[in-house]
Amino acid sequence: MPRRNVKGPNIRVNAALVCDDIRQETSGKIIVIGIYVGDIILFKFPSKLSLSFLLLGTADSLEVSLEVKIEVPSSEKEKTKTYTQVIDNTRSKDDKEFIIALVGAPITIGGTGNMSIKIRPKGSKNWKEVSSKPINLGEGL
């Protein structure tokens, strides 16, 4: 995945993972379960999933909250369905690295296309896509 800058504070997302679940051990280590590598293959539409998203990045300063938006193909009149979440307290101790974990987002995917993960500082008008993931129909088992 290419690195992409976001306007506002100098924010760079270095990695974006789509997975089934994210857990944190008492030691602070993060466990990522069921990473989607390549396309997301579904066997019917619409499909209801519980997806988790892990964004790793750096920033000069994160004195603002961040918003994360997930767009997926929809079977409804609009072409995409949007899920948005505001993330507070994303800063690391040194204000240079951040981790954003969206865990168990209930998402309904209506058809083939691309899932888009976008980010922006809260209040900003412009979204920046930091990753996308193709969604395709698989053949029956």
The pLDDT value given to residue 91? 52
Average pLDDT of the chain is 81
Q: DSSP string covering 17-50, please?
A: EEESEEEE-TTS-EEEES---S-EEESSSSEEEE
Is the CATH number 2.60.40 carried by domain 4-137? yes
Provide the percentage of residues in the chain whose pLDDT is more than 70: 75
- Reply yes or no on whether the pLDDT at 78 is more than 60: no
Task: Tell me the two tokens of residue 127.
Answer: 């979204």
Average pLDDT rounded to a whole number, residues 56-74: 79
Q: What residue segments make up the domains of the chain, in order of their start?
A: 4-137
Q: What is the pTM of this model?
A: 0.82
Pairing type for strands 128-137 and 40-42 reads parallel
Q: What would the two tokens of residue 112 be? A: 């083939």
What single letter denotes the amino acid at residue 77? K
Q: For position 65, what pLDDT does the model report? A: 74
**What is the band of 101 on the pLDDT scale with cuts at 50, 70, 90?**
confident
Residue 12 has pLDDT above 90, yes or no: no
Two tokens at 14?
């270095």
DSSP structural state of residue 122: T
The pair of structure tokens assigned to 64 is: 């603002």
* Residue 4 predicted with pLDDT over 70: no
State pLDDT tens for residues 109-128.
Answer: 999 999 999 988 878 888 89
Residue with tokens 């980010």: 119
